[in-house]
């Protein structure tokens, strides 16, 4: 079955097609005036306008009558721009920004400047190619300022001034006026005291005037031949006195009509590529098709595609205050006003309903920027999309034990009410229980969520396995109970296992399927500890050779190990610290030059320090010896290095001293890991 149908409708039909609907999720109107004017140039020049992507579906309309709709997945910015082009004043407004037009500019100056700017725009890529091979040390050529008109005279008309571009220039010049507060489009039609469609509060509404002129004059072939009587007849119930006023401004009225005729003609005669995804096209295929046809665009997120499905747009009554507040936060970030709630809102806003207890696992999703905890923070678009996508994956993992795109498609059936769900409460309850255990409490003081050092999929795998285990044990909360001790022991074994699997690349390339397998398999397999011998081998080789499985470990893998090993060694951060711990080099990375440039020791666990953010910023790329004595003592305590050794950690030649000072960590980590997963010694569960 065909997953899409291609078409080439004209731009005007895209603007006025009421069958095209905006999905629940909409990207903000991010295009600036410059970008909108460049789309004008493409339209009038006859360049391709890209491809818009629609998704075909059926929804229930009034009286439960089925109706076909097309959700606009991609092309909103262009469609909005085309719609605004129906107002000559908008085009002029964009041109003012693009061409730096001042109200006192003369028409010849505007024409010259326009010609130069269009030439620069059309030649942009060619110039960029030429500069690619230039040496960065090349002395720039002196720039001689020229008069715009002189510059324009050097540019051949054949390159710049096509028929369409000339029409665009004429349009801009026709609107331009040297009279402050007036324009040459609406001003001729401003008949004081006249009540007609385009008048609003005694002023001309330029958008309405465009439509009024278009509806009445579009069929007139020759605007120049229009008489006073012809124009008067277009007004409904107008007084006879209007004829004289029309006669006094007949040439100007004709110019305004020509503007509309020009714009309407271009919008009607220009085609745009359209791809309509059929109802049988699933989410995975939709994303891939979009990627293929729009490789330079912003990738569609799962949250966007799902918001264009009827099942997600089913209305839902919501009275739960926490739910309403979280949805309000979501739409505040989207900068969209909503009049009612739908199922999509419940899932997309899920992360907003979590509190800081869940930061132990999901902090970087819930609070991408730690400063948000302290003050008002305007969320960025990427952070917002990350939050929304996380909501769908969390709910899918909870209900369907999978986060594949096709399984997420099944979620609407599980959104039945607008109440805060068990999922949010269980995430918070389990995180609270985990951090009641001393080692996990220590981890929490680092202000690094599990997502920060193990990634999102591994982290939610851990979270939902622990939620399931907690429910199997009848949700224990009493620390003295056998079921609580069983829960904590399993939580440690699983955490140990997740770190091992992450750093040895077991999750690489198959994370979704592995998560599904873990959540649906026998828990005796999921909570089976990694043998001590395998961990001991990994610890030995990563310290001795800076290798894991015969390969240089990634920075992400070393970060995960450093977090885990620091916790095992019993390190806890000052409770007053609120920002995430950072990782930096003890012997500065900048000192590894010459023969030491490729030395694996540079980025090794021996040379990595776990530092509070402020201390790391103070250190910057300098040797530790440059820090104050107080800060040296902080590092010495955290990293088990004497202050005497710290003063010598300046160049790669001192790495032997550093190894000798820190090699005790290897045996310490091995022993403490065994205690951690077997609850012996210092890690005995109370």
Q: What is the pLDDT of residues 41-51, one digit of tens each?
A: 999 988 888 88
Is pTM beyond 0.85? Reply is no
Check whether residue 502 and residue 383 sit in a common domain.
yes
Q: What number is the average pLDDT over the span 153-176? A: 78
Is 625 within a domain?
A: yes
* Distance (Å, whole) CA 293 – CA 3: 14
Q: What is the pLDDT of residues 658-667, one digit of tens each?
A: 888 889 999 9
Q: What number is the average pLDDT over the span 15-26? A: 82
Check whether residue 383 and residue 496 sit in a common domain.
yes
pLDDT at position 146 over 60: no
Q: What is the pLDDT of residues 346-375, one digit of tens each?
A: 999 999 999 889 998 998 888 765 544 444
Q: What is the pLDDT of residues 648-684, one digit of tens each?
A: 777 788 888 888 888 999 999 999 999 999 865 556 6
Residue 597: DSSP 8-state: T
**pLDDT of res. 295:** 47
- Host domain of residue 328: 314-530
Check whether residue 359 and residue 474 sit in a common domain.
yes
Check whether residue 332 and residue 421 sit in a common domain.
yes
Is 397 within a domain?
A: yes
Phi, psi dihedral angles at 328 (to 5 degrees):
-60, -40
Q: What is the pLDDT of residues 246-268, one digit of tens each?
A: 999 999 999 999 999 999 999 99
**pLDDT of res. 129:** 34
- DSSP 3-state of 51: strand
Where a domain ends, among 206, 239, 269? 269
Q: What is the pLDDT of residues 626-655, one digit of tens each?
A: 777 777 676 776 676 777 777 777 778 888
Check whether residue 628 and residue 525 sit in a common domain.
no
For residue 110, give Cα distances in angstroms to 88, 91, 107, 300.
16, 14, 5, 40
Is 38 within a domain?
A: no
- Counting the structural domains of the chain, the total is 3
Where a domain ends, among 269, 289, 306? 269
Check whether residue 328 and residue 218 sit in a common domain.
no
Check whether residue 376 and residue 524 sit in a common domain.
yes
Angle 38-44-49 from CA coordinates, rounded to 5°: 65
**What residues contact residue 260 under an 8 Å CB cut-off, 6+ apart?**
88, 210, 213, 214, 217, 218
**pLDDT of res. 384:** 84
The residue among 171 and 288 whose pLDDT is bigger is: 171
**pLDDT of res. 209:** 94
pLDDT at position 319 over 80: yes
Is 36 within a domain?
A: no
Contact by Cβ (8 Å): 287, 306: no
Check whether residue 588 and residue 676 sit in a common domain.
yes
**pLDDT of res. 685:** 56
Is 293 within a domain?
A: no
Check whether residue 526 and residue 596 sit in a common domain.
no
Ramachandran class of 542: left when φ > 0, alpha when ψ lies in -120 to 50, beta otherwise = alpha
pLDDT at position 131 over 50: no
Is 9 within a domain?
A: no
pLDDT at position 559 over 70: yes
In angstroms and rounded to an integer, the radius of gyration of the C-alpha atoms of the chain is 33
**pLDDT of res. 372:** 43
Place of tokens 């320090």: 609
Check whether residue 651 and residue 524 sit in a common domain.
no
Is 275 within a domain?
A: no
The tokens of 397 are what?
């993992």
Check whether residue 586 and residue 517 sit in a common domain.
no
Q: What is the pLDDT of residues 205-225, one digit of tens each?
A: 999 999 999 999 887 778 999
pLDDT at position 115 over 80: yes
Confidence band of 301 (pLDDT split at 50, 70, 90): low
Check whether residue 517 and residue 656 sit in a common domain.
no
Is 424 within a domain?
A: yes
């Amino acid at each position: 079955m065909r997953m899409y149908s291609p078409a080439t409708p004209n731009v005007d039909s895209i603007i006025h097609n009421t069958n095209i609907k905006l999905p629940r999720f909409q990207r903000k109107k991010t295009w600036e005036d410059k970008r909108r004017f460049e789309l004008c140039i493409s339209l009038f020049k006859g360049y391709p306008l890209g491809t818009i992507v629609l998704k075909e579906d059926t929804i229930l309309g009034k009286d439960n009558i089925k109706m076909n709709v097309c959700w606009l997945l991609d092309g909103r910015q262009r469609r909005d721009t085309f719609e605004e082009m129906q107002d000559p004043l908008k085009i002029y407004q964009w041109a003012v920004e693009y061409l730096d037009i001042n109200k006192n500019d003369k028409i010849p100056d505007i024409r010259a400047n326009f010609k130069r700017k269009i030439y620069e725009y059309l030649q942009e890529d060619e110039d960029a190619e030429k500069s690619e091979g230039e040496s960065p040390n090349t002395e720039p050529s002196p720039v001689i300022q020229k008069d715009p008109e002189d510059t324009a005279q050097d540019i051949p008309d054949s390159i710049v001034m096509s028929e369409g571009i000339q029409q665009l220039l004429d349009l801009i010049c026709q609107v331009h006026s040297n009279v402050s507060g007036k324009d040459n489009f609406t001003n001729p039609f401003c008949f004081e005291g006249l009540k007609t469609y385009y008048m609003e509060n005694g002023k001309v509404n330029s958008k309405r005037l465009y439509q009024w002129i278009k509806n009445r004059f579009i069929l007139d072939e020759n605007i120049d031949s229009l008489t006073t009587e012809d124009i008067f007849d277009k007004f409904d119930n107008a007084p006879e006195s209007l004829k004289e006023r029309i006669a006094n401004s007949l040439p100007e009225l004709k110019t305004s009509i020509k503007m509309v005729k020009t714009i309407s003609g271009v919008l009607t005669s220009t085609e745009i590529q359209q791809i309509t995804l059929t109802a049988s096209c699933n989410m995975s295929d939709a994303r891939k098709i979009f990627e293929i046809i729009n490789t330079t665009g912003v990738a569609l997120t799962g949250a966007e595609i799902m918001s264009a499905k009827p099942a997600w747009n089913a209305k839902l009554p919501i009275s739960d205050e926490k739910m309403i507040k979280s949805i309000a936060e979501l739409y505040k970030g989207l900068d969209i006003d909503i009049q009612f709630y739908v199922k999509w809102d419940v899932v997309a806003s899920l992360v907003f309903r979590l509190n800081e207890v869940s930061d132990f696992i999901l902090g970087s999703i819930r609070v991408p920027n730690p400063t948000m905890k302290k003050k008002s923070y305007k969320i960025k678009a990427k952070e917002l999309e990350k939050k929304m996508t996380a909501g769908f994956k969390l709910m899918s993992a909870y209900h369907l034990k999978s986060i594949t795109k096709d399984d997420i498609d099944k979620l609407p059936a599980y959104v039945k009410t607008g109440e805060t769900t068990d999922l949010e409460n269980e995430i918070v309850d389990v995180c609270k229980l985990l951090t009641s255990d001393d080692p996990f409490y220590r981890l929490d003081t680092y202000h690094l969520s599990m997502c920060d050092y193990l990634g999102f999929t591994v982290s939610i795998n851990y979270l939902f396995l622990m939620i399931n285990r907690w429910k199997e044990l009848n949700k224990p909360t009493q620390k003295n109970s056998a079921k609580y001790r069983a829960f904590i022991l399993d939580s440690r074994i699983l955490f140990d296992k997740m770190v091992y699997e992450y750093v040895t690349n077991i999750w690489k390339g198959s994370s979704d399927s592995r998560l599904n397998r873990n959540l649906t398999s026998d828990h005796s397999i999921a909570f089976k500890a990694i043998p001590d011998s395998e961990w001991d081998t990994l610890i030995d080789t990563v310290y001795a050779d800076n290798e894991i499985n015969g390969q240089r470990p990634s920075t992400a893998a070393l970060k995960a190990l450093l977090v885990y090993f620091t916790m095992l060694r019993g390190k806890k951060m000052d409770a007053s610290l609120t920002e995430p711990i950072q990782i930096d080099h003890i012997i500065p990375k900048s000192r590894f030059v010459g023969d030491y440039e490729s030395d694996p020791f540079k980025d090794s666990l021996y040379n990595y320090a776990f530092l509070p953010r402020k201390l790391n910023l103070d250190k910057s790329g300098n040797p530790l010896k440059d820090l104050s004595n107080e800060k040296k003592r902080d590092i010495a305590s955290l990293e088990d290095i004497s202050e005497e050794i710290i003063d010598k950690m300046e160049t790669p030649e001192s790495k032997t001293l550093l190894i000798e000072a820190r090699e005790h960590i290897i045996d310490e980590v091995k022993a403490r890991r065994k205690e951690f997963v077997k609850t012996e010694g210092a890690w005995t569960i109370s």
